[in-house]
């Protein structure tokens, strides 16, 4: 029986993202990137920001980190990306998921409230839209953050 050799370099990393990265659509953003790059792993909020465990082709991991730095959601402010090897390399199921948040000593910042964006303003002004005249419309690019958060991590039970 012939054994196949894999010549594509593989990498498993633990990536810590610090800054204003909670409550801005950061986890779904990372999920979309990782899924599109064929990476496996998970992303979650914790008291320090966002933590990512990722495994896959080395070039894809590099592309993920580059995109996190260059293409973060509009309200996000990435202040640091810390990378380390994730050893021993995990036996992960294929795919990438958003995991439940973890607690800890709070060091993550909270994004300030943001004014209504043009897309939400258009939605509430259009009688054909479901949110027509809805006073509390918001999305990952606008709306309350600081005024509604009770604790970090920024998850539904804490807002």
Give Cα 98 to chain centroid, integer Å.
8
3-state helix, strand, coil in the chain (%, to 5): 20, 25, 50
Catalytic residue IDs: 27, 45
What distance in Å separates the CA atoms of residue 80 and residue 40, rounded to the nearest whole number?
A: 22
Token code pair at residue 129: 């839209």
Cis-peptide into 55, omega within 30 deg: no
Read off φ and ψ for residue 128, nearest 5 degrees: -80, -15
């Amino acid at each position: 029986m012939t054994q196949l050799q894999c010549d594509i370099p593989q990498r498993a990393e633990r990536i810590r993202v610090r800054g204003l990265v909670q409550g801005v659509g950061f986890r779904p953003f990372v999920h979309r990137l990782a899924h599109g790059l064929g990476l496996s792993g998970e992303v979650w909020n914790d008291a320090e920001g966002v933590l990512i465990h990722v495994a896959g082709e080395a070039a894809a991991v590099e592309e993920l980190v580059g995109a996190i730095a260059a293409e973060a959601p509009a309200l996000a402010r990435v202040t640091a990306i810390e990378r380390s090897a994730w050893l021993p390399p995990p036996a992960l199921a294929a795919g990438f998921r958003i995991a439940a948040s973890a607690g800890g000593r709070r060091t993550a910042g909270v994004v300030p409230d943001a004014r209504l964006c043009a897309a939400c303003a258009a939605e509430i002004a259009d009688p054909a839209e479901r949110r027509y005249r809805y006073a509390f419309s918001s999305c990952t690019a606008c709306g309350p953050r600081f005024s509604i958060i009770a604790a970090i991590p920024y998850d539904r039970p804490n807002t």
